[in-house]
């Protein structure tokens, strides 16, 4: 499905399914809204999926993997060869998120959307747009056509996950240098100074951080991305992983598959998706507060309130995967809990 077709497919959440889900929560023998945000999240998931039947057993985390040419400016602690190594580890089941996903009963699906070399692994979805982006400090990161193709990879991956029978998807990424591209994209979207949205990433000295801020600032000055055109922003200062994640959020909204936001990179992609289609805002499921500086600004722009505050800044979808456990617990009560009638208890009523 093309980007244009997808945007036309996105409709408001199913209000009837949400009303039925709320009725189910309120019928359980517990204080009204006793599980707070967890109840609200399951009601939203009912609206996304178009049914009050809550089955979240088949879970996965989609990790968009891509390299960024800006790494040659020395704005990261490691070289881009690490992207390929971790991508192969994702396939082998040995990377950080793999261990966490197994504990949560979720599968890991790495997507090679732009790794700088060929990668080995049976579980990798091979959707490479190019062998990494250009160095955004010297030239635009990619062409507009490449950005659209990468977004459409994300859309197609969302539909693929739906066809494979997954009930809910966590979003993740792997790409050395992608906190720099994210800072540039967020600065452009929010018209914010680079120093306000740029962090140390996986680890930089103070001098390294200053250089990173300068690279972001000067790149934005050179290419002047259009604040009102997310595709222009992504093509000039973004990355293929960011584009793919943007497509995941758009595709999930179009096909009724819940997508969980991870950290700052995933959040930036969600913001791009919302700027392309305002209706996507209703579909967003935040997981955790990110330790990156842009995180709070993204949360405010999206109007979301993440459930988890664990000072995480790892990537790979690790924060999003952490939300599976609480959602499973809430779904278990939602599906199996006793009602007031079952318990012979007088139902609670809203207080005024």
**Is residue 24 a contact partner of residue 342, using CB atoms and an 8 Å limit?**
no
Phi/psi zone of residue 173: left (φ > 0), alpha (ψ -120 to 50 degrees), beta?
beta
For the annotated catalytic residues, the residue numbers are 316
Residues 6+ apart with CB under 8 A from 164: none
**Is residue 283 a contact partner of residue 308, using CB atoms and an 8 Å limit?**
no
10 Å CB burial of residue 91 (0-12, 13-18, 19+) is: buried
For residue 141, give the nearest of 180, 174, 111, 171 by alpha carbon.
Answer: 180
- For the chain, give me the number of helices (H) and strands (E)? 16, 7
For residue 112, give the nearest of 54, 153, 144, 77 by alpha carbon.
Answer: 153
């Amino acid at each position: 499905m093309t980007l244009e077709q997808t945007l036309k497919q996105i409709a408001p959440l199913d209000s009837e399914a949400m009303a039925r889900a709320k009725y189910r929560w309120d019928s359980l023998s517990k204080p009204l809204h006793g599980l707070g945000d967890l109840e609200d999240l399951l009601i939203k998931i009912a609206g996304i999926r178009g049914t009050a039947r809550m089955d979240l057993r088949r879970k996965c985390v989609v990790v968009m993997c891509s390299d960024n040419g800006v790494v040659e400016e020395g704005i990261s602690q490691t070289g881009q060869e690490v992207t390929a190594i971790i991508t192969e580890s994702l396939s082998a089941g040995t990377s950080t998120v793999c261990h966490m996903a197994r504990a949560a009963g979720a599968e890991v699906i790495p997507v090679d959307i732009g790794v700088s070399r060929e990668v080995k692994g049976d579980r990798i979805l091979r959707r490479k747009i190019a062998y990494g982006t250009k160095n955004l400090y010297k030239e635009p990161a990619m062409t507009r056509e490449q950005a659209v193709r990468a977004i459409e990879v994300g859309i197609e991956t969302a539909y693929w996950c739906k066809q494979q029978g997954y009930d809910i998807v966590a979003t993740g990424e792997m790409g050395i240098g992608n906190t720099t591209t994210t800072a540039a994209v967020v600065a452009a979207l929010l018209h914010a100074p680079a120093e306000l949205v740029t962090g140390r990433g996986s680890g930089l000295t103070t001098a390294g951080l200053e250089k990173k801020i300068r690279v972001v600032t000067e790149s934005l000055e050179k290419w002047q991305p259009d604040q009102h055109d997310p595709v222009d922003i992504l093509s000039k200062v973004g990355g293929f992983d960011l584009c793919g994640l943007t497509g995941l959020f758009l595709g999930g909204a179009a096909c009724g598959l819940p997508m969980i936001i991870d950290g700052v990179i995933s959040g930036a992609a969600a913001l791009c998706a919302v700027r392309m289609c305002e209706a996507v805002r209703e579909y967003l499921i935040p997981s955790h507060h990110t330790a990156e500086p842009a995180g709070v600004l993204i949360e405010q722009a999206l109007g979301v309130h993440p459930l988890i505050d664990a000072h995480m800044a790892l990537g790979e979808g690790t924060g999003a995967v952490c939300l599976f456990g609480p959602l499973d617990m809430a779904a278990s009560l939602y599906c199996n809990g006793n009602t007031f009638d079952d318990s012979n208890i007088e139902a609670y009523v809203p207080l005024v």
